[in-house]
Chains A and B, each alone.
Chain A
């Protein structure tokens, strides 16, 4: 017997498959007739391709095709079509695919890759966003003006490296600063880093005799894969079928389309034969997109009593060599640019700039972990200057109903939640009142830092989701939805919501774990912590659809008005006399009278959802609504710092998040803790380093370090539940948020411990030593 409904811990539906090795991920589907593709990557960050010598590789037995940019002179991109699948004429980042080998085995493919010689003429590199916007900087894309722009709100500055600019102009910032008694200013430099989903990206493609393209891929966006392949190669959407099995972690990195295009051209080059293309870890880190870098300049002011008056900021987002989702990342920055605080005078410029770094895409938190680092460090600097408790400063300024957001959306209890309750609860669980800096002897300091976060989504204004329900003759349900199972248990959540609505044992609800664009209803993308909201709303509609059909059929059989009927516990019963009922199994495939006459037929449920009342932001002021609600919270990190060695260890990390309603408590806690763990990694060790030629140096997990077992703090997670009234059972998205404030909270804790302003990431001991001592022995 399973459980019924939301609010209680439910084991994920695919649990046993995942502990027995039976859960299949894209590259686990191996058949003997599948060819293997491998990419040859650029060894320069910026160079002209003089010549690609494939002659010896091509003559290797078993090599079926070798492709270069000359074979497919096409451009793609979800917002700006600036990206060739294989570099043509020029490479713009270290690791960029320059050739593609298709061979009869991985062995032959690897051998052939080693035999391809590419000759380059190096060009000057753009190694940082500030270099990119400097006067007379070389252009990463000289022909930007020719690129097709696929979305309305992109504002490139031609003949520069700026591919988009977004602005917030709210209130009067100059006047705002004149009202301030206290102003703090700072600059921030945050490096690129990588998703490191444990499953590297992988795609398979084949084309059948009718020209139908089948793609199996580790993607968070199967429907986008379909649309992009269809658009780029001018194939009817009905002839592009995308399948996604289990996905081994996404974190935003599997939202864009890349390997799918390469797998498709690989298959096309060998007459449509099945081809698999799986990234090595090295390629996954640099050839496929990574996480954004950011430079920011900040000025923040408040009155003596700590009330924020004005903020001015400039962001340069390092989108790397191609724009991908970069323009939406800066949109996400400006939308939430004040942090969850009331500031009436806001002046914000955000630029999305090309560099010769690996290109970037969405990453858990969608730019917020970076922007929150800046904002929350500013809040601590201000608190220090005001000689005020940083928690009090945040509490005083927290947004509340009646305020407006930077894009002038009115804050309500439903769309925002209750940040102050989060702050108060956080102070309790982390024992804030014992002091943020305590000397514990032997050169050791215990220090705490905090940060608040908020995040809304930035989907297209018409993002959709959908659900189909069918019944088995035993009355159990099959739930078909288009979201991907990449870890956060969204398929189980969908079942849980249906279980609540139909008051039905969750074990009697079966969810398709894979997605197939041919038969699954479209779900925009499994991103942005929007899946519970979008799929959940579709589930509720589909449930209402089957309730209506079941009631109408049962009303005929039970000879009562349909409105007197309830559907629950796999029965349809008369509300005022539950002894009058029909079991679901007698209705779901039509009702059969004792004499054999039958009526109706299968009960087929459908539920659809589309984002409503979102709009495009005003180009000059940023005014507009980008997402249906925020999820807010407060976080803290406690560290033990060694004053002699400049090292530290994590003691505690805490999060209080306003979840609206917690649907699956242990899962929710796990998602938040996982995000926190990743945030500690970003704060303490994760980053790309480059050499002088802008080549990434940390291209394997040997040198690119993530958090490991045993290095983690004690995690404290607590929830506040302020209903989000249009969300399924009032639940807000929480999948990303655990990460957002953690790097900032760590930066704040360490700055307090060290008595230095630590405005860079990651905070490795050497950085702290350098900032504290100036690097003098």
Chain B
């Protein structure tokens, strides 16, 4: 039960969506774009979020694309559910990542765009996208534009007001890079991450991104530089821990010190398993 009223709009095109947003915004109807809705509904029920109207983007054709474009890029619509992405088996690392977010039934509702734009600190689907230099197509009042993920995602998806993510495009070559994905939780498999670490190896170099370690997901070139130098594994692992240590989360899922321990182990694990790849 959501203890307030709002209006519901389900546009059939990008243009209808952005126009509706402008109109509703001007009319003081406090609109939000609506993907899977699971987060909006649960936050609204608890009174942590209030909105006057929702614009459900799930019927916009561009948001439902799943396939390759003429540039041989994998295009994934933002309204695809995590389950759609997993079942399609097109992007192994993203499949692995999406398959460990919430539980399977929730994956049938949570959308790619919804997870990227989540207000929670985890946004795990961004990890693969950060690693493979995906492009995000954003629709706003002034039209549709592509952004490199690194430009538009800094801690969170920084969308201009009134705009929404339409799709994510990724070069085919990057998708098939060797990868790793390690999600650690407090104890229960279905849980927010104590930390999720995802990475790929491309051109002989490791790339790595994290969720749950800090209050936002990130890819770190400085960590990658450490990983890609030639020091002893345990030295490199400690360097990573030391580099990140002052921003590591301390919460109910795990203390900061414990996260450091898990991080060190995980880095060692990654260095070991990715050595021969």
A residues contacting B by CB (< 8 A) are 106-107, 110-111, 113-114, 282, 644-645, 684-685, 689, 697-698, 702-703, 705, 708, 710-711, 762, 764-766, 769-770, 773, 775, 777
Contact = CB atoms under 8 A, between A and B. Distances in A.
A107 B3 contact: yes
Nearest to A644: B265
B interface secondary structure, majority: loop
A685 B187 contact: yes
Contact of A777 (B189, B254, B264): B264
A111 B191 CA distance: 30
Interface string B183-202: 00011111110000000000
Interface string B173-189: 00000000000001111
A14 B188 CA distance: 33
Given A711-B188, A777-B241, A777-B257, A645 B252 contact: no
B209 to A, nearest CB: 21
A106 B257 contact: no
Given A282-B46, A685-B187, A705-B186, 8 more contacts: A107-B3, A111-B4, A114-B3, A769-B258, A773-B261, A775-B257, A777-B257, A777-B261
Contacts of A110: 1-3
B258 A770 contact: yes
Contact of A766 (B47, B186, B188, B241): B186
22 contacts: A107-B1, A110-B3, A111-B3, A111-B4, A114-B3, A644-B265, A645-B262, A645-B265, A697-B252, A698-B252, A703-B252, A705-B186, A705-B187, A708-B189, A710-B189, A764-B186, A764-B187, A765-B186, A765-B187, A766-B186, A777-B260, A777-B264
A684 B191 CA distance: 14
B228 interface: no
B255 interface: yes
A711 B191 CA distance: 13
A198 B261 CA distance: 36
A545 B257 CA distance: 70
Contacts, number: 56
Contacts of A698: 252
B168 to A, nearest CB: 27
Contacts of B191: 705
Contact of A113 (B2, B3, B186, B260): B3
Interface residues of B, number: 24
A106 B241 CA distance: 50
A114 B47 contact: yes
B188 A705 contact: yes
Contacts of A685: 186-188
Contact of B190 (A708, A765, A770): A708
A689 B186 CA distance: 14
A702 B190 CA distance: 9
A766 B255 contact: yes
- Of A106, A645, A710, most B-chain CB atoms within 10 Å: A645
A762 B257 CA distance: 19
Nearest 3 A/B pairs, CB to CB: A110-B3, A705-B188, A764-B187
Interface in B236-277: 241, 252, 254-255, 257-258, 260-262, 264-265
B3 A769 contact: no
Contacts of B264: 777
Nearest to A705: B188
A710 B1 CA distance: 31
Interface string B5-23: 0000000000000000000
Contacts of A710: 189
- Of B2, B241, B257, B260, most A-chain CB atoms within 10 Å: B257
Contacts of B46: 282
Interface in B87-112: none
- Of B1, B254, B264, B265, most A-chain CB atoms within 10 Å: B1
Contacts of B241: 777
- Of B2, B188, B257, most A-chain CB atoms within 10 Å: B188
Contacts of A113: 3
A113 B45 CA distance: 12
B194 to A, nearest CB: 8
Contact of A684 (B187, B252, B257, B260): B187
Contacts of A684: 187
Contacts of A705: 186-188, 190-191
A21 to B, nearest CB: 18
B254 A766 contact: yes
A762 B191 CA distance: 16
- Of A114, A644, A764, A766, most B-chain CB atoms within 10 Å: A766
Contacts of B189: 708, 710-711
A720 to B, nearest CB: 33
Nearest to A112: B3
Given A765-B187, A775-B257, A689 B265 contact: no
Nearest to B103: A708
A106 B186 contact: no
B3 A708 contact: no
A444 to B, nearest CB: 15
Contacts of A765: 186-187
A760 B241 CA distance: 29
Contacts of A777: 241, 257, 260-261, 264
A74 to B, nearest CB: 29
B69 to A, nearest CB: 37
Nearest to A701: B190
Contacts of B3: 107, 110-111, 113-114
B187 A689 contact: no
A753 B186 CA distance: 19
Contacts of B260: 777
A102 to B, nearest CB: 16
Nearest to A699: B46
Nearest to A765: B187
Contacts of A111: 3-4
Contacts of A697: 252
A110 B189 CA distance: 33
Contacts of B47: 114
A456 to B, nearest CB: 33
B233 to A, nearest CB: 13
A769 B261 contact: yes
B250 to A, nearest CB: 12
B211 to A, nearest CB: 17
Nearest to B185: A705
A684 B258 CA distance: 17
Contacts of B257: 775, 777
B116 to A, nearest CB: 20
Contacts of A766: 186, 254-255, 258
B10 to A, nearest CB: 22
Contacts of A702: 192
Nearest to A645: B265
Nearest to A113: B3
A702 B191 CA distance: 7
A697 B255 CA distance: 15
B130 to A, nearest CB: 26
